[in-house]
Amino acid sequence: MKTFSALLLCLAVAALSSAFVISPPHMWTKLILTHHWPRTFCSMEHCHPNLTYWTLHGLWPDKGIDCNSSWHFNASEIEDLLPEMKKSWPDLLNPTSSGFWKYEWHKHGTCAAKAESLNSQHKYFSKALELYHKVDLNSILTKFDIIPSETYYKLSQIEGVIENFYGVTPKIQCAHPSKNADVQTLGQIEICFNTDFTLLDCEKQYTGHRDKPMAVNKVTGFNVCDQDTPVYYPPPYTN
């Protein structure tokens, strides 16, 4: 009887161990594709890019940060992607530097890499670019007359376009100059995906992602836009 009990105990421990192998800690369940509006970001960080489109900020798994500090960024592994990276995923503060991509890889890419579909630097960065072009936020907003201008929008107008076209809820973030400001400035839009890269509703509350070096400070940073405050979608800088 004791032998049988011991055998059952061993089997239970083995099953438990297998479960941990199958479900590693910090395995993510959602990816967050984050877009920046350069004019808003740079109005707070004192940069002056001549960009007229939403740029990619990052592809963030919902769990884990800096999952493998020994897995160093290597630009040579994504050499074929660099022309598109510079255009679609630029470092707005240091356009000639790869420091921003290095940071995104260390903080988010090494965690995304827990999935086989993203388990290399090339897979991670190329998938982010693929999803960015698949969403094509610039074209969709323009198509439905959400364009940068001096005219203010209701948040529901911007949300409605994205929800109706993609069938999912985005998380839209604004810069709030002060607590009781009469207007908020459109700055960041998150579109979410399942583990199989199908679209998914985003949670609207703050998720704890605040990146550097392309971060905004805690006083004037991006927060989920207020439903009742007019939204300013500022035109790009002009030469």
What is the chain's Cα-based Rg? 21
Catalytic residue among 35, 36, 106, 108: 108
* Active-site hit among 35, 36, 57, 106: 57
CA 165 to chain CA centroid, Å, is: 19
Active-site annotation holds for 104: yes
State yes or no: is 108 an active-site residue. yes
- Among candidate residues 104, 106, 159, 176, the one labeled active-site is 104
Q: Which residues are catalytic?
A: 57, 104, 108
